[in-house]
């Protein structure tokens, strides 16, 4: 396939994705996730070239095999997966003999239909084009789809739903944590954090070039900032070698904050009990006895 044909395939796929997923258009990244996600073709399989933080507590290591990407299963996908599962069970039970049995006891598979649909879609033939992943990442919001992957060629497919912390795409390579993309209108983007820089420190904690260290210190430093009622500092190394710079992320202030925002609220908010009403005994006036 020549370059012109490959471009036509990509455009066709992108147009299809636009029509299918127009309701979940990505508000944007700098650069786009399709450009920033570290994927490459190796031995006819798409692999991660760098470790990537996909949720606040999960890192996919470099070399992970990318299978495919799909949106969260809808009602039709769930029904289809359930129907296919029943047919497969019939074939396994009765071999080539067709019977009039139209359903399988649902107790045979304890998983719900949603999980079956996810497994079915993750087990679809793996994509072998980086452009196909890029087109999907261009269209769908990062938290609206499932990423199917394998740790190696012999392992079963696994699935993760992206929850990128602070809408940052972070990767680790050569002992450095890199900001590959920043979500437009995110707290990091509003603070002025650029993409393509090396993230060195979160709050007072040094990352030591490790995403695993980021996982440990990020929630602690964020909570400290929330309790103190101050922004969360991110320190990065400028790519031009001009030294370290710091931006401040605005984070929601915790209800436990000592920042003085709730000083006007009395500690004891229980209503005072109503005073007891005194009931007076009626006084009966007695008439003096008449003289004889």
Q: How far is CA 230 from CA 194, 221, 244, 256, in A?
A: 21, 11, 21, 13
Angle between helices 130-139 and 3-20 (to 10 degrees): 30
* Sequential DSSP letters for 4-46: HHHHHHHHHHHHHHHHHSGGGB---EES-HHHHS-EEEETTEE
Mean pLDDT over residues 66-76, rounded?
Answer: 83
What percent of the chain clears pLDDT 70, i.e. is strictly above it?
65
pLDDT at 139: 81
* Residue of 57, 49, 108, 45 whose CA lies nearest to 82: 108
Q: Is the model's pLDDT at 105 over the cut of 50? A: no
Residue 166 pLDDT grade (very low, low, confident, very high; cuts 50, 70, 90): very high
Q: Write b or e for each residue in 65-97: b if 16 or more Cβ atoms lie within 10 A of its Cβ, otherwise e.
A: bbbbbbbbbeeebbebbbeebbeebbeeeeeee
Question: How far is residue 257's CA from residue 226's CA, in Å, rounded to a whole number?
Answer: 7
Asked whether the predicted pLDDT for residue 45 surpasses 60, the reply is: yes
Tell me: pLDDT of 35 over 50.
yes
Note if the pTM is more than 0.85: no
Picking from 186, 106, 79, 109, the residue whose alpha carbon sits closest to that of residue 142 is 186
**C-alpha distances in Å from residue 277, one per residue of 59, 273, 280, 281, 283:** 67, 12, 10, 13, 18
CB atoms within 10 A of CB 35: 14
Of 78, 75, 71, the residue nearest 141 (C-alpha): 71
CA-to-CA distance for 79 and 92, rounded, in angstroms? Answer: 20
Rounded CA gap, 131 and 14, in Å?
A: 9
208-221 pLDDT tens trace: 999 999 999 999 99
Structure-token match 């497969």, residue found: 88
Q: Over 60: is that where the pLDDT of 31 sits?
A: yes
Q: What is the mean pLDDT of residues 112-135?
A: 88
Tens of pLDDT, residue by residue over 2-12, are 454 444 444 44
In whole angstroms, give the CA distance from residue 37 to residue 54: 11
Please give the pLDDT value at position 284.
57
pLDDT tens digits for range 219-245? 999 999 999 999 999 999 987 767 899
- Comparison of pLDDT for 139 and 73, the residue scoring more: 139
Q: Cα separation of 226 and 43, whole Å?
A: 47
For residue 116, the model assigns a pLDDT of 78
Q: Check whether 101 has a pLDDT greater than 90.
A: no
pLDDT of residue 97: 43
Cβ count near 264 (within 10 Å): 6
pLDDT digit string (tens) for 150-159? Answer: 999 999 999 9
pLDDT at 23: 42
Q: Which structural domains are found in the chain, ordered by start?
A: 1-76+113-163 (no CATH), 166-265 (2.30.42.10)
Confidence of residue 20 (pLDDT cuts 50, 70, 90): very low
pLDDT of residue 273: 67
């Amino acid at each position: 396939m020549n370059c012109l044909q490959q471009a036509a395939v990509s455009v066709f796929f992108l147009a299809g994705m636009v029509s299918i997923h127009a309701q979940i258009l990505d508000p944007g990244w700098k650069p786009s996730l399709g450009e920033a996600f570290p994927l490459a073709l190796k031995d006819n399989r798409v692999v991660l070239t760098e470790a990537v933080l996909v949720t606040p507590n999960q890192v996919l290591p470099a070399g992970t095999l990318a299978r495919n990407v799909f949106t969260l299963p809808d009602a039709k996908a769930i029904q289809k997966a359930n129907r296919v599962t029943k047919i497969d069970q019939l074939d396994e039970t009765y071999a080539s003999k067709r019977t009039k049995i139209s359903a399988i006891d649902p107790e045979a598979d304890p998983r719900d239909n949603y999980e079956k649909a996810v497994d079915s879609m993750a087990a679809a033939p793996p994509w072998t084009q980086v452009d196909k992943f890029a087109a999907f990442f261009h269209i769908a919001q990062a938290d609206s789809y499932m990423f199917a992957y394998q740790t190696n060629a012999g392992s079963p497919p696994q699935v993760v739903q992206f929850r990128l912390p602070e809408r940052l795409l972070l990767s680790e390579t050569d002992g450095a944590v890199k900001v590959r993309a920043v979500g437009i209108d995110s707290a990091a983007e509003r603070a002025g954090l650029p993409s393509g820089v090396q993230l060195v420190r979160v709050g007072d904690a040094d990352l030591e070039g490790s995403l695993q260290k980021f996982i440990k210190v990020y929630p602690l430093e964020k909570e400290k900032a929330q309790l103190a009622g101050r922004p969360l500092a991110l320190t990065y190394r400028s790519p031009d070698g001009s030294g370290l710079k710091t931006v401040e992320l605005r984070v929601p202030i915790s209800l436990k904050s000592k920042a003085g925002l709730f000083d006007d609220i009395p500690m004891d908010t229980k209503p005072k009990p109503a005073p007891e009403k005194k009931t007076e005994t009626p006084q009966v006036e007695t008439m003096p006895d008449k003289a004889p």
